[in-house]
């Protein structure tokens, strides 16, 4: 948490004009939560007003507040559409409200499991911790100029993202290694369990420091946001440059270090902006630049970039509200199907998981790293 509480700072700000409900001037729905749950309380303004009510003592903590507070993917689309002075702080306020809710009512059982598993296994899936065994498997050095921070979802669920990233880095002759990483803390931060994160961040910082690396690459948009933005907020700067893999691949291609296949693949791809990479961190171009380098046809969906529809998996919602999360992902797949592309590409393992779960074979769903690995 920052020292000045955003809830306090923006107490008298949301007019409940509802502009955050739809894409400004595009008029397509913007808030996956409000769109599904419908009540005013499930749009950004509802959450801000619950925060307001709590802050002013007009609303008591009550278990019935849990759903409106936690069924938000923290996608940040509302921040783009809102025209009021507090717009850049909406997600911060929602996260602060969640932090308070956890203190007062306790974390949601699904979210509590994240914390327990991270404590026991260093990842929210409770999978057997094995980050360092990859070092032997891939004959990686102990010291290197670059650390590949895999992220739990790539490492324990969407392994092909991890493997294709390693393959790309090796093909390009990059001097990198892997550390004994613990969960970056993103699942805890997004679900109001902030207090547990400092220890994780400190561990990761120490591990990275031991390699002497100056750059950390991550193929997870959630880790990317957390390692930069959240660690900074917590006063735990890593003292290294954190780079998203899409940015790194663009550089490798530009410098001629990664050679792409020349022959054109008869593949039409479209791209889904992950909220954590795009809206939260402002990176819209790198993945598109890479796609434009590749020998494929790249077509855009209608709702993209700042106004992209969320995949529904973030903010702890896939675990706590699976049905809604799935519906949200289905909508995104429908957007992709409308482009007539055969392949939906993303740059976040969590988006891939969410979208894949909602897919009824209408599309191939892959990560940019997999596509690049396939075409290099």
**Residues in the site for ligand SF4, rule: CB under 6 A?**
14-20, 30-34, 44-45, 47-48, 72-78, 82, 84, 90-91
Could you say which of another protein, ligand SF4, none residue 215 binds, taking C-beta under 5 to 8 angstroms by partner kind?
A: none
Which of another protein, ligand SF4, none sits in contact with 75, Cβ below 5 to 8 A by type? ligand SF4
Of the pair 107, 363, the CB lying nearest another protein is at 107
Who's near 326: CB < 8 A, 6+ residues apart? 312, 354, 357, 358
Q: Which is nearer to another protein, 49 or 176 (CB)?
A: 49
* Residue 354 interacts with which of ligand SF4, another protein, none, CB < 5 to 8 Å by class: none
Q: Which of residues 13-52 bind another protein (CB under 8 A)?
A: 13-19, 21-22, 24-25, 27, 37-41, 46, 49-50, 52
* Cα of 72 vs its chain's centroid, Å: 13
User: Residue 314 Cβ, how far from another protein at the closest point, in Å?
Assistant: 21
Binding status of residue 64 toward another protein by CB under 8 A: yes
Interface with another protein includes 180 (CB under 8 A)?
no
How many chain residues touch another protein (CB under 8 A)? Answer: 35
HEC string for the chain: CCCCCHHHHCCCCCCCCCHHHECCCCCCECCHHHHHHCCHHHCHHHHHHHHHHHHCCCCCCCHHHHHHHHCCCCCCHHHHHCCCCCHHHHHHHHHHHHHHHHHHCCCCHHHHHHHHHHHHHCCCCCCCCCCCHHHHHCCCCCCCCEEEECCHHHHHCCHHHHHHHHHHHHHCCCCEECCCCCCCCHHHHCCCCHHHHHHHHHHHHHHHHHHCCCEEEECCHHHHHHHHHHHHHCCCCCCCEEEEHHHHHHHHHHCCCCCCCCCCCCCEEEECCCCCCCCCCCCCHHHHHHHHHCCCEECCCCCCHHHCCCCCCCCCHHHHCHHHHHHHHHHHHHHHHHCCCCEEEECCHHHHHHHHHHCCCCCEEEEHHHHHHHCC
Nearer Cβ to ligand SF4, position 51 or 140?
51
Rounded Cα–Cα distance for residues 268 and 312 (Å): 24
**Residue 65 in contact with another protein, rule: CB under 8 A:** yes
In the list ligand SF4, another protein, none, the entry touching 201 (Cβ below 5 to 8 angstroms by class) is: none
Query: Minimum distance from CB of 13 to ligand SF4 (Å)?
Result: 7
CB of 285 to another protein, least distance (A): 23
Distance of closest approach, residue 313 Cβ to another protein, in angstroms? 21
In the complex, minimum distance from the CB of residue 357 to ligand SF4, in angstroms, rounded to a whole number? 18
Whole-number minimum distance, CB 315 to ligand SF4, in Å?
7
DSSP bridge pairs for 270: 344
Choosing among ligand SF4, another protein, none, which partner's interface includes residue 29 (Cβ < 5 to 8 Å by kind)? none
262 to 321, contacts with another protein by CB under 8 A? Answer: none
Query: Taking CB within 5 to 8 Å according to partner kind, which of another protein, ligand SF4, none is near residue 325?
Result: none
Give the nearer residue to another protein in terms of CB position, either 38 or 232: 38
Q: Which residues make up the interface to another protein (CB under 8 A)?
A: 12-19, 21-22, 24-25, 27, 37-41, 46, 49-50, 52-53, 58-60, 62, 64-65, 67-69, 83-85
């Amino acid at each position: 948490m920052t020292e000045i509480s955003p809830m306090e700072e923006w107490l008298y700000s949301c007019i409940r004009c509802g502009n955050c409900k739809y894409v400004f001037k595009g008029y397509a729905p913007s808030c996956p939560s409000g769109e599904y749950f419908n009540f005013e309380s499930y749009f950004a303004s509802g959450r801000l007003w619950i925060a307001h009510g709590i802050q002013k003592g007009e609303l008591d903590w009550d278990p019935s507040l849990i759903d409106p507070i936690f069924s938000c993917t923290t996608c940040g689309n509302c921040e783009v559409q809102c025209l009021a002075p507090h717009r850049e702080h909406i997600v911060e306020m929602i996260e602060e409200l969640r932090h308070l809710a956890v203190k007062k009512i306790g974390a949601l059982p699904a979210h509590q499991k994240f914390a327990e598993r991270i404590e026991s296994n260093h990842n929210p899936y409770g999978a057997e911790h094995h980050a360092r065994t990859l070092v032997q498997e891939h004959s990686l050095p102990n010291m290197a100029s670059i650390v590949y921070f895999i992220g739990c979802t790539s490492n324990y669920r969407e392994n092909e993202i991890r493997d294709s990233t390693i393959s790309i880095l090796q093909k390009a002759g990059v001097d990198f290694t892997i550390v004994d990483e613990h969960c970056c803390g993103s699942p805890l931060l997004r679900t109001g369990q902030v207090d547990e994160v400092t220890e994780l961040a400190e561990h990761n910082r120490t591990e990275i420091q031991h390699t002497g690396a100056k750059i950390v690459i991550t193929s997870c948009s959630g880790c990317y946001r957390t390692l930069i933005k959240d660690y900074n907020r917590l006063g735990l700067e890593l003292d290294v440059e954190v780079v998203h893999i899409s940015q790194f691949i663009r550089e490798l291609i530009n410098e001629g270090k990664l050679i792409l296949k020349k022959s054109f693949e008869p593949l039409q791809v479209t791209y889904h902006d992950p909220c954590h990479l795009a809206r939260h961190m402002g990176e819209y171009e790198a993945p598109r630049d890479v796609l434009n380098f590749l020998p494929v046809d790249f077509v855009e969906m209608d709702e993209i970039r700042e106004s992209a529809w969320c995949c529904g998996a973030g903010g702890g919602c896939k675990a706590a509200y699976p049905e809604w999360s799935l519906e949200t992902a289905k909508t995104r797949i429908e957007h992709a199907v409308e482009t007539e592309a055969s392949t939906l590409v993303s740059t976040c393992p969590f988006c891939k998981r969410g979208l894949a779960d909602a897919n009824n074979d209408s599309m191939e769903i892959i990560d940019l790293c997999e596509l690049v690995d396939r075409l290099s």
